[in-house]
Structure 1
């Protein structure tokens, strides 16, 4: 008897953010308000990976195979997000990543330091 195989990971998309749960119990999560960059890359299993990053370079890697329409719908709410650019990047995805969106807001300024 063959049972249903357990997926390697699954993804939850909410209004607050995106969360990926791995089979080993680890979790990647990122709030939408913290996303400053979206990348697309092809992986070795012929899937497409969406990589969402925050200002510190931490992020959440989301396989296209684990997404549904709610993920793409939510991406559209990022300021000036271009679905056509995303589609072109997905069509041309290979081993190197393509940045499809960056936050239009400048990074926060560094504090002023006094030097002796």
Structure 2
């Protein structure tokens, strides 16, 4: 009798951001306020439906990779808070994801500026 295989990673989505934990113990995390680009692409063999990846990037090019299989209503609802994010464009990109390469489905119209240094009395 075979049990369920242990997932190679799992993803947490909160109001603050997205975190992906890998089986090797490494972690990727990105706050929603830091997201400036969303990409969609394939990974590995094109015949594996679970290989479509949604990549969230910050201004430094660091990010969090979310497999389509880990997306849920919470993740999709949170993406809608990004300015002018188009869920239809995301769906089209996911359905037509190539085995190699990525397609940018959203870029921030105004990348976030650093917070000003506040002086307190």
Long gaps (5+) in structure 2: 114-121
Name the TM-score, length of structure 1 as normaliser: 0.87
Alignment of 1:25 with 2:29, yes or no, is no
What is the number of residues matched between the two proteins? 109
User: 2: CA distance between counterparts of 1:14 and 1:48?
Assistant: 21
Q: What is the RMSD computed on CA atoms of the aligned residues?
A: 1.6
Where does the alignment leave 5 or more consecutive residues of structure 1 unmatched? 109-116
1:58 aligns with 2:71: no
**1: CA distance between counterparts of 2:79 and 2:102?**
18
In the alignment, is residue 85 of structure 1 matched against residue 89 of structure 2? yes
Hey, which bits of structure 1, 4+ residues long, moved more than 3 A? none
Residues of 1 paired with 2:19 and 2:111: CA distance? 25
Contact 2:36 2:111 in 1 (8 A): no
1:102 and 2:107 correspond: yes
Aligned to 1:112: none
TM-score with structure 2 length normalisation?
Answer: 0.84
